Amino acid sequence: MRNQDARVILAACLVSAAAAAQAPAFEDNRIREWDPSSRISGSAAPRDAVVADPSIGLAPQEPGSAQDPQDYSLSGMFLDSHREFMNRRERYNPMLEFGARFAPNQSIKHEPGNFDWLGYDFDLESPVVLAPDGYMLLGAYYNGRRYQFSDAMGTQGNVTGLSDENLTAAGVTLGFGVFLNDNVFFDMQTNPGVYTDADGGLHTEDYDYPSYAMFTFRTMDNFFLKIGARYNQIYEDAPWLPYLGISWEIVEGFRFDLLAPEKLEFSFWPSSSTGFLFGSEVTGAEYSVRTSEAAGKERDDLRVQEVIAYVGLMQRFNDSLSIAIRGGVILGGDYELTTGASGFNQAEGALSQAFYGDVSFGIDF
């Protein structure tokens, strides 16, 4: 089920992180946020009460002032050199997120029945500066999917249909980022974990390593070009694909972010704490599923993919707490649903259009 070459990216991240760890470190070099209104833990001054601009970050503060003494920690030197780049290369994204997604009354074209889908997510990414031009990324994630199927779902070609299903994707995040010069940034990330229904225990087929590597070039103060490669199971026939993207602050407070073939978004920020989002994204994964009766001996691959268009609102209440709410339509996608039992005829095909919504809470600490 899995492309084993993805292990190479995991090994590269671990080797790079181990090598970077030989650099000298101060008491605490963990970055809380790239935003200049947020202080670095350790020897830096206390955090300001000002809310940072999530679209591009606030203007850099003048170093050496009485209110903002020069910070000679590794994290302080990193931000002194690269704060503006890191703020502008992507819009605000919280360090810790808790979220829920819901898509009621979904159906697969030319298949009987329908289903409701509820997702519940957790994502943590914490950068730790190891050198004035580089950092290591540590984190963890959990993505759950709860499917409730109607009695008719999965009955085409089968004696019985699909029972309600719980799917889990959970693992750790490992990565690093390094500046090759002031205008060229390279980062890699891997997310080894399990993608399973956890029925009959975990097996080697349950493990996967979604990963990416990417160069970001700043060609103008407000324009970034992104080129790289990624491995994941969103597209069944193309686990390995190139990443091509741009991040562009078209005018002050209005930006465009594209990362093909997965994400596109316009965002408008009338104030430093409020953003309106308009975009689309492709989500999905492949899970190894089994039947309880087979005690793990029978298995199959269950695949889900959604193409989502949305409008949303992001609100930052202060430097530590934010909320994002999105609503829209599932435009399409591709599903292959199975129980894992031998001989079960999969319920497969394109998704019909239906409502989609999600809400997430963000925390920075």
Q: Which amino acid is at 255?
A: R
Query: Of 198 and 32, which is predicted with more confidence?
Result: 198
103 and 70 Cβ atoms separated by less than 8 Å: no
* Rounded Cα–Cα distance for residues 28 and 365 (Å): 13
Q: How far is CA 116 from CA 54, 241, 316, 338, 349, in A?
A: 33, 31, 31, 16, 17
Model-level pTM?
0.81
**Structural domain contains residue 52:** no
Confidence of residue 29 (pLDDT cuts 50, 70, 90): very low
Beta-carbon contacts of residue 19 (< 8 Å; ≥ 6 apart):
none
Q: How far is CA 230 from CA 36, 98, 113, 214, 303, in A?
A: 30, 25, 35, 8, 18
**Structural domain contains residue 45:** no
**Structural domain contains residue 65:** no
Tally of CB atoms within 10 A around 262: 18
In the predicted model, is pLDDT for residue 308 greater than 70? yes
**Structural domain contains residue 31:** no
pLDDT digits (tens, 9 = 90+) for 60-70: 344 444 455 67
pLDDT digits (tens, 9 = 90+) for 222-244: 999 999 999 999 999 999 999 99
Residue 130 has which token pair?
């190891």
**Structural domain contains residue 8:** yes
Per-residue confidence (pLDDT) for residue 293, from 0 to 100: 59
Beta-carbon contacts of residue 252 (< 8 Å; ≥ 6 apart):
none
* Rounded Cα–Cα distance for residues 296 and 302 (Å): 15
* Rounded Cα–Cα distance for residues 108 and 115 (Å): 9
In the predicted model, is pLDDT for residue 145 greater than 70? yes
In the predicted model, is pLDDT for residue 1 greater than 70? no
Q: Which amino acid is at 210?
A: P
Domain around 146: 4-16+86-363
CATH number of the domain enclosing 329:
2.40.160
**Structural domain contains residue 151:** yes
**Structural domain contains residue 140:** yes
> Average of pLDDT values for 247-260?
96
In the predicted model, is pLDDT for residue 335 greater than 90? yes
Domains held by the chain: number: 1
Query: Of 1 and 59, which is predicted with more confidence?
Result: 1
Confidence of residue 334 (pLDDT cuts 50, 70, 90): very high
Residue 94 has which token pair?
């919280």
